[in-house]
Structure 1
Amino acid sequence: MDWNRYRFLSLWSLPAPPAAVYAVLERPEDYPRWWPQVRAVTRLDDSTGVITIRSVLPYAMSFTARETRHDPDAGVLEITMSGDIEGWARWTLTADGSGTLARYDQVVHVNKPLLRWLAVPGRPVFRANHRLMMRSGRRGLMRHLEAV
């Protein structure tokens, strides 16, 4: 088993139509406004940016995100990541009654030295940290959608 490889799945039920949710998610430079753990997003060009995240644990991770799929009709946003984490992430949005089911898939390999060193004993804590980050992101997105 590769202790530095993670696969995550999060499902968010949101009270807004898919087009409205997509319009927010396709603007990563605005994520820090509604997702507290996304500390900074710096656009490098139309499809690439540097993102810094930090959840409950006292470490930040930075990575370059490059858009690989931008398909509003299918409700899909996908990126590849390189830096402290390497891999990919994908949002898939589908109608769910009058709202949206947002599915977030992520497969990453951790490159940050401290996290690699703590891989075995820290794995459950790192996974819990990710769950807390995603829970906070859902709450922030719901508040943001209600405000617009």
Structure 2
Amino acid sequence: MRVNAYRFRDTWLLSAPVRSVYDAVVDLAAYPRWWPDVIEVSRVDEDTAELVCRAALPYALTIRMRRAEEDPRTGRMRVHLTGDLEGSLAATAVPLPGATRLEITQQVIATKPLLRLLSPVARPVFRANHAVMMRRGRRGLAAHLSAAGARRRTA
């Protein structure tokens, strides 16, 4: 395995219906409203968005996400990644009694020169940075979904 290749698996348990989770995750433009590490999202075309992300470490990543699969019936979504990270990200929203399990898998190669240079020694730090970002994303999405559910109940 290349030293700048990474595979991440995350599972988010969310107290919201599967369709609400799915709709929030495929709405990339809304990420900065609930995910503190997603600084900016720009639409490139109908199937592509560019995200600028920054977690705990003092660098930002610019990543283009191009839609490869979106299937609300199965809860599956997948995007191709280019830019500072190249590879793919797939997620599946799985219904549970009163909740949703969001299973996320990323397979990427770090192409940003700084990451490529430092990967041989900083790999554990980069993995920890990713974990921080994903933890904040889960918390932000949970709060976003909770607030959206409360608005629907009072409307």
Shorter-normalised TM range: over 0.9
1:74-130 CA-partner distances (Å, limit 9, x unpaired): 101110011111000011010111110000100000000011110111000000000
Runs of 4+ in 1 over 4 A off after TM superposition: none
Q: Unpaired segments of 5 or more residues in structure 1?
A: none
After TM superposition, list the pairs within 5 Å mapping 1:91-102 onto structure 2.
91-102=91-102
- Percent identity, aligned pairs only, is 43
| Cα shift at 1:21 | 0.6
Q: Which has the higher helix share?
A: 2
How does the TM-score come out when normalised to structure 1?
0.98
| Counterpart in the other structure of 2:118 | 118
| Counterpart in the other structure of 2:153 | none
Q: Take 2:23 and 2:81, find their aligned partners in 1: how far apart are those partners?
A: 21
| Counterpart in the other structure of 2:13 | 13
After TM superposition, list the pairs within 5 Å mapping 1:22-41 onto structure 2.
22-41=22-41
Give the superposed CA RMSD.
Answer: 0.7
Code of the aligned partner of 1:96: L
How does the TM-score come out when normalised to structure 2?
0.94
How many residues are treated as equivalent by the alignment? 148
Code of the aligned partner of 1:54: R
Code of the aligned partner of 1:48: T
Paired residue secondary structure (2:19): helix
Code of the aligned partner of 1:80: H
